[in-house]
Structure 1
Amino acid sequence: MESLEGLSRRYNLLSKISAAFLYAIAVAVALNFFWQPGHMYSSGVTGFAQLINTLSERYLPFTLTTSTLYFALNVPLFILGWFKIGKKFTIFTIIAVFLASIMMHNLPAPEWKLDPLVCAIFGGVINGVGTGLALKSGISTGGLDIVGIILRKKTGQSFGSINIAINLLIVIAAGFVFGWTRSLYTALNIFINGRVIDAVYTQHQKMQVMIVTEHPKKIIDGIQEKMHRGITIIHDVEGAYGHTEKTILFTIIDRYDMYDIHNIIVACDPYAFVSVSEVAKVYGRFKEQELV
């Protein structure tokens, strides 16, 4: 009979491959259904691939396809990810990029003319959801995802914000190629894409949890055993209503951990007072969850 560890590994593998496949479909739909008909660029390496594709159509005797360029431009970034993030992470990234290249090439584009605003909104949302789900599953979609993850580890800035900052160059390029009106739609698309990524991929978003409880030991044990988070303890505090002795616990978690810590607190002390606030930056010995 297969062990639980073996089943867990198999489930994890299937989850990552499924996320890679969903991302491939999402980026292909966004590209072929919205960005290309709307004459606007995507973010990251996909946007650079589109730019080179446009320039090759205009100035070269042959056309370099977006799908081929997308994979080729990712190759040096695969190498960067291999050494800076992890081998397993990079292998799944290669799978995601390869599947995306195939879907971009083979998914037929509909012959329709849509409002550029519709293209910017729906293209950004669809690609953002696909990218966020891939990252949430522990894989990358290549390109600036890899650069963004490395920079976030060093600077603490949110992934979407880094994505938007780097893609300013693509907005300017879109202005020269398609005109400045389309450049603004490209900027809107990239902004929406970044915000949707942040909404879906929540691991990097830090939250401070303050817990006022009469049963600190149970909660501390639950958090440390199940979540492996550090906790700061303030003893001998008093509630103004009942004048009972309480303890305040402070801990920093990922937003992704909110469900787990809520269950721990409710199980240990259903009458605990809990306050949660967003954290702009964390210094010191805070350990982030591994991507893989």
Structure 2
Amino acid sequence: MKLTHRWLSIVEGCLLVALGLHILNSAELLISGTAGVGMILFRITDLSFGQLFFLLNLPFYILAWYTLGLAFTVRTFVSVSLLSALSELMREYVYLSIHPVLSAALGGLLVGFGLIILFRHNASLGGLNILSVYLERRFGIHASKTTLVADVAVLLAAMIFLDLSQLGYSLLAFLLLSSVVGRYHRPPIWAQIPMTESKS
């Protein structure tokens, strides 16, 4: 029962994040982390966002395996793969036309709450999420702080591709995501266990 609950929660978290990212992509806005990098590269390559997101995360599985354990790595790989697949499905079948302000608000909130669900079940969406969980477990640095630093880096890179209004709306999405994670995320028990004892 516990195992079923965990995987259902991971699926639900991925659905929330996928919908949030699709809303943001539909309005040509960005979000932080690996997803934000994928959104930028989506504008200059022939690959879809789902394909880019999956490929960008591949190197981070090594870090996850050696620092956060096999179980975390497997859940993260499944989460990333599921999100990539859901993103492809939504790109094909879900059509949206939403004002950028509402897109930024909904997108940021959905991604934020989706990430919290994944964090609470010892999973992530790779990339920055892996780094955030590692820093939180190893050094006690709250995940929202790492997310905020990444927000700024992605926003600076996005200045090349977005106009001022898009940057402003994307910043709103960034702030809402960081606010949700900062207010609702609480390091779970596994994050308080020494790393040498929690890799199984």
TM-score scaled by length of structure 2: 0.88
Per-residue CA deviation, residues 30-61 of structure 1 (Å, 9 max, x unaligned), is 122x20122111211111111111012xxxxx
Equivalent AA in structure 2 for residue 110 of structure 1: Y
Other-structure match for 1:92: 75
The aligned residue for residue 251 of structure 1 is none
Q: CA deviation at 1:111?
A: 3.7
The residue type paired with residue 153 of structure 1 is R
**Residue 37 of structure 2: aligned partner:** 48
Letter in 1 for 2:35: T
- Aligned partner of 2:94 in structure 1 is 109
Q: Name which of 166, 175, 192 aligns with 2:176.
A: 192
Q: Is the 8 Å Cα contact of residues 43 and 170 (structure 1) preserved in structure 2? A: yes
Are 2:173 and 1:176 equivalent residues in the alignment?
no
**Mapping of residues 9-48 of structure 1, within 5 Å:** 11-32=1-22, 34-48=23-37
Higher relative contact order (CA 8 A, sep 6+): 2
Q: Which runs of 4+ in 1 moved over 6 A?
A: none
Residue matched to 2:111: 127
Structure 1: state its 5+ residue gaps. 1-10, 57-62, 205-253, 255-286
Match for residue 73 of structure 1? 56
Asked whether the 8 Å contact 2:137–2:192 carries over to 1, the reply is no
- AA in 2 matched with 1:40: L
Preserved CA contact (<8 Å) 2:144 2:178:
yes
1:261-285 Cα distance to aligned partner (Å, 9 max, x none): xxxxxxxxxxxxxxxxxxxxxxxxx
Gaps in structure 2 of 5+ consecutive residues: none
Does structure 2 conserve the Cα–Cα contact (< 8 Å) formed by 1:139 and 1:291?
A: no
**Which residue of the partner structure matches residue 192 of structure 2?**
288
Cα 1:186–1:194 change in 2 (3 A) is same
1: CA distance between counterparts of 2:96 and 2:65?
40
Per-residue CA shift, 1:45-88, capped at 9, x if unaligned?
Answer: 111111111012xxxxxx11100110111111111100011111
C-alpha distance in 1, partners of 2:82/2:61? Answer: 15
| Structure 2 residue identity aligned to 1:176 | I
Q: Shift in Å at residue 154 of structure 1?
A: 4.0
Q: Is the 8 A contact 1:16 1:134 kept in 2?
A: no
Q: TM-score, normalised by structure 1?
A: 0.62
